[in-house]
Chain A
Amino acid sequence: MVLQKADLVVIGAGPAGVAAAIKAKEMGVNNVIIMERAEQLGGLLHQCIHNGFGLQYFKEDLTGPEYAYNFIEKAKGLGIKFLLETMALDISPKREITAVSNKEGIINLHPKAIILAMGCRERTRGAINIPGTRPAGIFTAGVAQRFVNVEGFIPGKKVVILGSGDVGMIMARRLTLEGVKVEAMVEILPYVGGLIRNEVQCIHDFNIPLFLEHTVVDVHGTERVKAVTIAKIDKDRNPIYKTKRKIECDTLLLSVGLIPENELSLKAGIKLDPVTGGPIVDETMQTNVSGIFAAGNVVHVHDLVDYVSFEGELAGSNAANYILSQALFPKMKINLKAGEGIRYIVPSTISGQKKATLYMRVLKPDRDVVVKVGDDFLRKHLPIVKPSEMLKIIIPLSKLKMLKDETKELTISCTKGRK
């Protein structure tokens, strides 16, 4: 095989990977290969047949497949190579990739740079330890979405959804439209986990009963789900047993969070952030392993695909720089630290030599807050924040130039206030 000649290999053909490959190719990288384990490009977008994609990137309201199509057509036009149904089995810290496919057999590649864009997976029942029986009829929301939208099957006719992530809410609406009765959406937090627009358009508009500060305490049925018992929780998240109620259903969907998929990253010796579960990256999206970049949900779980594409492009352009002219890389001088009210920030380090774009999430929902960078270096008032809605803060170069040379760290906080 001649594939060994790859300059850049992107692992994953979802929105991050395809955007990264396009950018690198446009910047002059010759041999760009995208490796994808599924049988089609686009990642999970092809099963997201609802709208709401592209408002930031295309300034247009698109469905998931439409959004993906725009990128895929462009990538094909640029002559980027795709290896479909190809699974990367191993990446070494020296960027040696071992992969396998039924067409090519075992594939060995040693590119000049790698971009990790494996995306994320759903948290499962085991990960949140729901007690009770183990019958058929328990699915994660994303798996149910694939069955309904891609395979053409409906898991059951009476559904309870645990968790209120975006996929769970989208599926509450989708299943209702399919004639399924969504008996309840049960959320352990005092607020909905996903985007506000999904709460309005999928839950309230369809009259789905929403149980906040509740959880599933038991699953019934030995062969197929027969019912679930839910209960309100106290402040330590223990169920209050006198509030128990049994809801008859044949299906339990889980929408209890997404986890970046980084088993390959670990094999390559990449350090992960315990909060995001993704690689620790600098402002170029490079990991601690030289020449291995990462972008999209593999780094941190996004709520809008548009930002995944932007992040992919950033990784793609920097990987191109790395391949074409390593000398241009600036030193990362300033660490970014999550202070009060902030759960995490991506990237973790910046150079201070160019405009810095920071993505972050707050710890809890609030109104009238001030996000502060450094002591009083930069501040921004926000009327409303939610952990489910990612914040984007830009520090202009002119501001960064005002920093003292010895500045090694900037703490970012989110506290109550109007100014």
Chain B
Amino acid sequence: MAERLLYADVVIVGGGIAGTAIARELSQYELDVILLEKEIELCFGVTKATHSFIHCGLPEEDTPLINKLSLESNPMFNQLCKELDVPFMRVGKLYTVMNKNEIKILEKIKEKGDIVGVPNLEIVNKEKLREMEPNITDKAVAALYTPTTGLVSPWELVIALAENAMENKVKIMLNTKVTQILPQEDDVFIIKTNRGFIKSKFLINAAGLFADEIANMIGEDNFVMIPLKEERYILDERITGLVNHLIRSPITGDFISPTKKELAPIENNIIMGCVPQKIKDKTDATTSKEGFKRVFNYAKEMFPSISAKDIITSFAGSVPLNSRTNDYIIEPSQRVPKFINAILGGIGVTASPAMAKLIVEILISQGLKLIKKQNFNPYRKGIPDFRTLPEEERKALIAKDPRYGHVVCRCETVTEGEIVEAIRRGARTVDGVKYRTKAGMGRCQGGFCGPRVIEILARELNIPVTEVTKKGNNSRLLLFKSKELLRKNWR
């Protein structure tokens, strides 16, 4: 195949929360925007395994940019999620302490929050805390309540941002890895990828954990990205109703997510968390016995009725940190000013909407002319969520497409209609179907629906079953046809 040359005003490298938030923000202007993602699907990097909290904006010591962006972003989520049809709920957080002496810590946090304008912070006493969390341990003495803390599904948000950006003419290229960046004399970049060349006026580095490798390509080598690993454990849906708010220790950072029934579209099982630890390998997503002990002990301490039997799965993710600062790096490169770093870190999902607006300001300051599109459509509609629809809407959906009457994933009640629609919108792998529809995310972890999902993927993508992968590249699930090995052995 002849290598092609594409033209763009802005190229975004990275299809996680940073890249898709910027793509959607830029899609309201008259621009040619291309987003490049090296994986087979969007949101297959760090965003996929991040937690779902939208932080209230309580400030930390040495992270002015994180503080500013998260405080600005938090109130934007109602409007954003409404436009994008992404479930969002302000569940509130309780920074809970077990010792009277520790109430001082809560007061200090509150004071700092009040100064910067985090709304409606309140210290609740033991009685009020028990009223808000009837199942919490007796040992909990007080909590700082942050009512604006929210929950959103990070991958739903990324997919929605990308779908809306595409609706507004942003081009997204998957399986596309940047291999070389060549700044040209006339102030443009030639970007070399495994799928051809792109000529672009601006380049935004939103490559997350791999942002250092992209920056290196223009000779910027003053930082490296360091993964901070977090382990998570998901509990059976039976625990629904046990925890009402996000519970967090202000001392260790350990947390437990709420499990309200109304959260079903976002996440209906408790995710128990764990504070991160620095690791070397960027692809390390292993979980450990020690991590489990730590996470489980905190959950059990806070909610004694949680049992190890309730755990249905575990996973690990990484927060991308940079070696230069504790803060984000959202700025033009010192070397090549039209190369703009958009490197988030912890609580990146929270900060993403304000970050995207900041990128727009930076682009303008670097000379990009922006004209608003006349026909920008801010709305996107999600895949129908059969499980949470009222009976009348279910009936209407099945009448329109009978595949919505065929339940494929029994644990999460996901229908064939939803899976086919997810594939139509870009799911290419079993994991991609899982993130978009929740098929395989329940207690049996794909035991029953796994074979069905593989079959539907093969059918809809018109590929052999043996080519279906879990997450792209070399992650094929079924390596041989029946008798194939025997034939090989006999030869």
Interface residues of A (CB under 8 A from B): 37, 85, 87, 89, 98, 100-106, 121-122, 124-127, 129, 131-137, 139-140, 142-143, 146-148, 151-157, 178-180, 218-219, 222-224, 250, 263, 266
Contact = CB atoms under 8 A, between A and B. Distances in A.
B335 interface: no
Given A132-B286, A136-B470, A106 B482 contact: no
B451 to A, nearest CB: 6
B358 interface: no
A136 B405 contact: no
B230 to A, nearest CB: 14
Interface stretch (B7-15, B81-89, B165-173, B473-481): B473-481
B394 interface: yes
Contact of B479 (A143, A146, A156, A223): A156
A307 to B, nearest CB: 24
Interface stretch (B94-102, B377-385, B396-404): B396-404
B395 interface: yes
B475 A224 contact: yes
A131 B288 contact: yes
A105 B399 contact: yes
Greatest chain B CB density within 10 A among A85, A131, A135, A219 is at A131
A64 to B, nearest CB: 17
A122 B444 CA distance: 7
A225 to B, nearest CB: 10
A136 B486 CA distance: 23
18 contacts: A37-B407, A87-B410, A100-B394, A102-B416, A103-B402, A121-B447, A121-B448, A124-B445, A125-B445, A127-B311, A129-B292, A131-B287, A133-B286, A151-B465, A152-B482, A153-B481, A157-B479, A263-B237
Contacts of B473: 223
A155 B286 contact: no
Greatest chain A CB density within 10 A among B234, B394, B404, B480 is at B480
B40 to A, nearest CB: 11
B265 interface: no
Which 4 pairs, one residue from A and one from B, show the smallest C-beta to C-beta distance? Answer: A126-B313, A179-B485, A136-B470, A102-B405
Nearest to B391: A106
B312 A127 contact: yes
A153 B482 contact: yes
Contacts of B313: 124-126
B62 interface: no
A101 B405 CA distance: 5
Nearest to B291: A131
A102 B417 CA distance: 10
Contact of B407 (A100, A134, A152): A100
Interface string B450-482: 110001000000000110011101111111111
Contacts of B193: none
A86 to B, nearest CB: 9
Contact of A100 (B287, B398, B448): B398
Given A102-B416, A139-B450, 18 more contacts: A37-B407, A100-B394, A101-B405, A102-B405, A105-B402, A106-B405, A129-B287, A129-B311, A132-B287, A135-B470, A147-B478, A154-B484, A154-B485, A156-B480, A178-B486, A179-B486, A223-B473, A266-B238
B277 interface: no
A354 to B, nearest CB: 36
B314 interface: yes
B479 A154 contact: yes
A132 B285 CA distance: 8
Given A148-B482, A178-B485, A136 B471 contact: yes
Nearest to A107: B405
A153 B478 contact: yes
A288 B322 CA distance: 59
A87 B482 contact: no
Interface string B271-296: 00000000000011111110010000
Nearest to B296: A129
Contacts of B285: 133-134, 222
Nearest to A100: B405
B474 A224 contact: yes
A257 to B, nearest CB: 11
Contacts of A266: 238
A100 B311 CA distance: 29
B413 interface: yes
Contact of A223 (B404, B471, B480, B481): B471
Contacts of A136: 469-471, 475-477
Greatest chain A CB density within 10 A among B308, B394, B475, B486 is at B475
A142 B447 contact: yes
Nearest to B284: A133
B450 A106 contact: no
A178 B314 contact: no
B424 interface: no
B219 to A, nearest CB: 30
B474 A105 contact: no
A157 B485 contact: yes
Contact of B444 (A124, A156, A224): A124
A87 B469 CA distance: 28
B286 A131 contact: yes
Contact of B451 (A131, A134, A147, A179): A147
B476 to A, nearest CB: 6
B404 to A, nearest CB: 8
B174 to A, nearest CB: 17
Given A135-B470, A223-B473, A224-B476, A152 B486 contact: no
A55 B482 CA distance: 30
Nearest to A133: B286
A41 to B, nearest CB: 17
Contacts of B369: none
Contact of A102 (B234, B314, B398): B398
